[in-house]
Structure formats: structure tokens, C-alpha cells
């Protein structure tokens, strides 16, 4: 990791950073890690912003996969499958500015036990 990285945003499953030394944006989402230059990041954001969630959910309604939204990365032979909630979180990670905000109940991973 770059020693001069700054956190741009983070979500429950992701972290979005920028390295001043290498001029690379890095985002880690679940078990995926991407390092992109600014122009690559802009293209990726345009791409995911233009995905038609309803279309893909309808097209792949009978697929045995729970994740129905294909996200092509790089070449056509590498595709990430996401569900609607994951795509919303990825967009929030890359598009929203970081704020000091409270987590919602659904974002808290711990199981609460009331005595």
C-alpha cells in the first residue's frame, strides 16, 4: 500500500483511496482490488453508472446465480457478477463523498443479543 494514501470513502464492504505518489486510485470491494488512473476510474464510473439493473435482472431471472448484474472488467473474458445491493454499495463507494455519518442498522455486521 502506498504510504501517502488518503481515504476518499469507505463502506461496509469497500475502501476507496488515492495515492499521491503513484497517482493511482485504489478501491477494494469485498475480495476485489482495483488500481486505476484517473481516466480509467472515470471510464469505470461511467460504465457502472450506465448499467441497467432492471434489464439484467429480467434477462437473467432464470439463472441459477444469485448475482445477476454482470460488470465487465478489462477484457470480455473477466466478468464480475453483482446483485442490486452490491452495485448500489459500489456506486456509493465510488461516487459519494466521505461524510461522518452514522451507520444504518443493516450496515452493522454484528449480531446483537439482548439480555
User: Cβ contacts of residue 71 below 8 Å, gap of 6+?
Assistant: 47, 48, 51, 79, 80, 81, 82, 87
| Residue 111: inside a domain | no
The pLDDT profile of the chain, 115 residues, written as one tens digit per residue, is 677 789 999 999 999 999 999 999 999 999 999 999 999 999 999 999 999 999 998 988 888 888 989 998 877 788 899 999 999 999 999 998 655 454 555 555 555 555 5
Domains contained in the chain, number:
1
| Residue 104: inside a domain | no
Residues spanned by the domain of 22: 5-96
The model's pTM is 0.76
| Residue 101: inside a domain | no
| Residue 108: inside a domain | no
| Residue 114: inside a domain | no
Ramachandran angles phi, psi of 71, nearest 5°: -120, 110
Amino acid at each position: 500500500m502506498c504510504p501517502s494514501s488518503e481515504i476518499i470513502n469507505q463502506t461496509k464492504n469497500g475502501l476507496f483511496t488515492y495515492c499521491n505518489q503513484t497517482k493511482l486510485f485504489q478501491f477494494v470491494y469485498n475480495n476485489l482490488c482495483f488500481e486505476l488512473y484517473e481516466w480509467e476510474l472515470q471510464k469505470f464510473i461511467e460504465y457502472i453508472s450506465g448499467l441497467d439493473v432492471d434489464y439484467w435482472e429480467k434477462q437473467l431471472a432464470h439463472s441459477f446465480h444469485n448475482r445477476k448484474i454482470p460488470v465487465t472488467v478489462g477484457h470480455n473474458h473477466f466478468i464480475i457478477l453483482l446483485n442490486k445491493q452490491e452495485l448500489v454499495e459500489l456506486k456509493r463507494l465510488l461516487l459519494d463523498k466521505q461524510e461522518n455519518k452514522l451507520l444504518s442498522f443493516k450496515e452493522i455486521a454484528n449480531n446483537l443479543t439482548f439480555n
